[in-house]
Amino acid sequence: MRRLAIVVALVLTVAIAWQQRHRVELKLRAADGGHVSDFDRFMIMVPHFLDDHADYVDDQFPTPPLTLAVFAPLARLSRPNAIFVWVLLKLPLALLSWALALSIARRSGAVLTPAAEAAVLALWWLPLVVDAQEGQTNFLALVPLLAALRLAQGQRGLSDMAAGLAVALATSMKVTPIIFLAYFALKRRWWVVTAGLLGLVLWLVVVPAMFFGWDQNLRWLDAWSRIMILPYAHRGDIVYATSQSIPSFLVRTLTATPAFVSHEGGAVIPHFMNLLELPGDAVRLLVRVVLGALGLYGLMWAGRPLASLRSRRYLVELGVVAAFMLWASERTWVHHYVSAILTWVAASALVGDATLPPRWRSGLRAALAVSAVCALGASEAGRLFGPHGVDWAKALGVFLLPSLVVAGFLVQAEAREPDVSSGQALVD
- 264 in a domain, yes or no? yes
Across 232-238, average pLDDT = 92
**Which of 248, 316, 284 minimizes the C-alpha distance to 110?**
316
Long-range contacts of 320-326 (CB under 8 A, 24+ apart): 320/346, 320/407, 320/410, 320/411, 321/179, 321/180, 321/183, 323/403, 323/404, 323/406, 323/407, 324/179, 324/294, 324/295, 324/298, 324/407, 325/176, 325/177, 325/179, 325/180, 326/176, 326/244, 326/245, 326/403
**Confidence class of residue 352 from pLDDT cuts 50, 70 and 90?**
confident
Q: Give the model confidence (pLDDT) of 129-141 as tens digits.
A: 999 999 999 999 9
- 425 in a domain, yes or no? yes
Q: Give the model confidence (pLDDT) of 46-78 as tens digits.
A: 999 999 999 999 999 999 999 999 999 999 999
**pTM, entire model:** 0.95
**Confidence class of residue 423 from pLDDT cuts 50, 70 and 90?**
very low
Q: Give the model confidence (pLDDT) of 183-194 as tens digits.
A: 999 999 999 999
| Identity of the residue numbered 407 | A
- 396 in a domain, yes or no? yes
**Confidence class of residue 428 from pLDDT cuts 50, 70 and 90?**
very low
Chain-centroid distance, C-alpha 304 = 26
Number of domains in the chain: 1
Res. 415: pLDDT tops 80: no
**Which of 359, 360, 389 minimizes the C-alpha distance to 377?**
389
Res. 117: pLDDT tops 60: yes
| Degrees to nearest 5, angle at CA 361 with 359 and 365 | 115
Res. 422: pLDDT tops 50: no
Across 75-82, average pLDDT = 97
How far is the CA of 141 from the CAs of 105, 144, 173, 174, in angstroms? 19, 6, 5, 6
- 297 in a domain, yes or no? yes
- At 316 the pLDDT is 96
> CA 40, 44, 47, 52 torsion: positive or negative?
negative
With beta carbons less than 8 A apart as the criterion, state whether 282 and 302 touch: no
Across 271-280, average pLDDT = 96
With beta carbons less than 8 A apart as the criterion, state whether 129 and 94 touch: no
- At 174 the pLDDT is 94
How far is the CA of 221 from the CAs of 63, 78, 225, in angstroms? 10, 27, 6
Q: How far apart are CA 219 and CA 345, in angstroms?
A: 40
Q: Give the model confidence (pLDDT) of 20-33 as tens digits.
A: 999 999 999 998 88
- At 414 the pLDDT is 77
Average pLDDT, rounded, for the chain:
93
CA-based end-to-end distance of the chain: 20
- 362 in a domain, yes or no? yes
Q: How many CA atoms lie within 13 A of 229 on its CB side?
A: 14
Q: How far apart are CA 407 and CA 47, in angstroms?
A: 42
- At 354 the pLDDT is 85
- 182 in a domain, yes or no? no
- 58 in a domain, yes or no? no
**Confidence class of residue 265 from pLDDT cuts 50, 70 and 90?**
confident
Q: Give the model confidence (pLDDT) of 151-165 as tens digits.
A: 999 999 999 999 999
Domain that holds residue 372: 114-137+229-428
- 186 in a domain, yes or no? no
- At 425 the pLDDT is 39
**Confidence class of residue 424 from pLDDT cuts 50, 70 and 90?**
very low
Three-state DSSP at 263 gives: strand
Phi, psi of 427 (to 5 degrees): -135, 160
Work out the percent of the chain whose per-residue pLDDT is above 90. Answer: 88
- At 426 the pLDDT is 42
Q: Is 329 left (phi over 0), alpha (psi -120 to 50) or beta?
A: beta
Q: Give the model confidence (pLDDT) of 383-403 as tens digits.
A: 999 999 999 999 999 999 999
Count the helix, strand and coil residues of the chain and give each as a percent rounded to the nearest 5. 70, 0, 25
Res. 416: pLDDT tops 70: no
Q: How far apart are CA 192 and CA 165, in angstroms?
A: 8
Res. 421: pLDDT tops 70: no
- At 176 the pLDDT is 96
